[in-house]
Amino acid sequence: MSSSLQPDYAAIKELHKTLPPFQPIIPVSLLPYLAYILLTLTFGLAFYFSTLPKGVAKESTVAILASILGGFGTVAMFCTVGVYV
């Protein structure tokens, strides 16, 4: 990392004023809904997984899908309750 003082400081200060504000990839207002939907789907798929007969292909598919949805749903849930990760 580099530490910069004058005149780099003046330059970054001017640049900062002109930059467009930060925008998240997913709008924050959608996160609560996303959390609810994804986690509901995760739990639904987890229940469905518990009913599956032995079969590597189907079990793996359901587990992977539920894990992916659960991963994103948990991150959205954390942000919704105020733990900004």
Partner 1 sequence: MVLHRYWLHLSTIVLGLASPSWASFENTRVTRSVDLGGSLVYTTTTYNVKALEDGSNVYLFALTEKEQETTSWMEAKVKGHTAPLSLENHGLSHDATYYYSVALPKALDKDQTASLVLETVQAHAAYPFPPEAAQDDRQALKYDTDLFVLSPYKSLTQTIRFNTVGFPILGYTQPKEVAFTTGTIAAKSNSGGAIVFGPFSDLPPSSNTDFIEKHQQKISIFYEFGFPMLAIRSLRRAVEISHWGANLNIQDEIDLYNAGPKLKGQFSRLEHQTQVYQHRQAPHVLTELALQLPAGIHSAYYYDTIGNVSTSHLRIAPSASQGGLPGRSSLLELRPRYPLLGGWNYSFTLGWDSHLGDHAGWDAEKGRHVVGVPIMTLFGGAVVEDAEVKFVLPEASTDVEVFPPFSPSSFSSAMHTTYLDTTGRPLVVFKYKNLTDKHTGIIYIAYKVPLSAHLKKPTAVGIAFFSVFFVAFLWKRVDLNLEK
> Interface residues with partner 1 (CB under 8 A)?
1-6, 8-9, 12-13, 15-16, 18-26, 28, 31, 42, 46, 49-50, 54, 59-60, 62-64, 66-68, 70-72, 74-76, 78-79, 82-85
From residue 81, alpha-carbon distances to 6, 19, 36, 47, 77 in Å are 41, 30, 12, 25, 6
Q: Minimal distance in Å, beta carbon 40 to partner 1?
A: 14
Cβ 46 to partner 1, closest distance in Å? Answer: 8
Residues in the chain: 85
3-state secondary structure of 49: helix
Task: Report yes or no: 70 and 42 within 8 Å, Cβ to Cβ.
Answer: yes
Shortest Å, Cβ 69 to partner 1: 8
